[in-house]
């Protein structure tokens, strides 16, 4: 028998696999951005809600994911149990000793956060500090970063410079010598950085709402 948790977990996994947050996937599918929010999964009477068949059909069309892929995520919910990811404050990420040369988490001083269904064993979490990334990321939001994920134009990324500056931006363009980063906050300028100044760049694969 299917459970509410299996279906909602499969939606979360589908969003993550195709590089979206749950709200981003909803927008991509032409749905209201809040369709898959946690608050929508419980009714006013406290009972669990089912997502509509129409909403599931639209996210499958938006991602071009076959139905059997989605059903596999439903069936494998047991494999999507939460595991602990390293968690560090965004500002602290600029300090030394937390990452290796490839941008993977190392060392001590990490807290942990539980996150379900993530295949990348080297992924980690950063907690946003301040309002420099509004309106996309707010103070206290958590983003999940995958150093192993392929980065393409338009992806949201975390970049750390060799000087220790840590940026959350959108990859606008990458050439043989530079990367161009679009700011998430219109009040902050875009950046163009020489590749020689980049310690690592990793893709943001999920963000809390």
- Mind listing the pLDDT tens digit for each residue in 33-83? 899 988 888 877 778 889 999 999 999 999 998 898 888 888 765 444 566
CB 99 within 8 A of CB 110: no
Q: Once rounded to an integer, what is the mean pLDDT over residues 22-26?
A: 90
Four-way CATH pick for 82-207: 3.40.309.10, 2.10.109.10, 3.30.110.30, 1.10.3720.10: 2.10.109.10
pLDDT of residue 133: 86
* Domain covering 4-80: architecture: Orthogonal Bundle (1.10)
> Which pair of structure tokens corresponds to residue 79?
């494999």
Domains 4-80 and 82-207 belong to one CATH topology: no
Domain boundaries, the chain: 4-80, 82-207
Q: Inform me whether the pLDDT recorded for 129 exceeds 70.
A: yes
What does the pLDDT look like over 190-209, one tens digit per residue?
Answer: 999 999 999 999 999 888 75
Residue 6 burial (C-beta neighbours within 10 Å; 0-12, 13-18, 19+)? middle
Instruction: Please say whether the beta carbons of 85 and 113 come within 8 A.
Output: yes
Please give the Cα distance from 47 to 187 (Å, whole number).
42
């Amino acid at each position: 028998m299917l459970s509410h948790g299996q279906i909602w977990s499969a939606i979360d996994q589908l969003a993550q696999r195709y590089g979206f947050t749950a709200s981003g996937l909803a927008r991509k599918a032409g749905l209201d951005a809040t369709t898959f929010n946690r608050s929508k999964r419980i009714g006013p009477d406290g009972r669990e809600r089912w997502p509509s068949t129409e909403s599931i059909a639209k996210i499958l069309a938006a991602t071009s994911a076959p139905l059997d892929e989605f059903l596999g995520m439903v069936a494998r919910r047991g494999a999507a149990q939460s595991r602990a990811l390293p968690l560090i404050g965004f500002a602290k990420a600029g300090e030394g000793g937390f990452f290796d040369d490839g941008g993977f988490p190392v060392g001590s001083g990490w807290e942990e956060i539980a996150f379900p269904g993530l295949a990348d064993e080297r992924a980690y979490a950063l907690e946003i500090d301040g309002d420099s990334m509004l309106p996309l990321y707010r103070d206290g939001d958590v983003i999940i970063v995958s150093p192993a994920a392929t980065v393409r134009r338009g992806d949201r990324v975390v970049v750390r410079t060799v000087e220790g500056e840590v940026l959350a931006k959108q990859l606008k363009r990458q050439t043989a010598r530079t990367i161009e980063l679009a700011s998430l906050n219109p009040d902050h300028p875009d950046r163009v950085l020489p590749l020689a100044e980049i310690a690592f760049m990793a893709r943001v694969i999920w963000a809390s709402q």
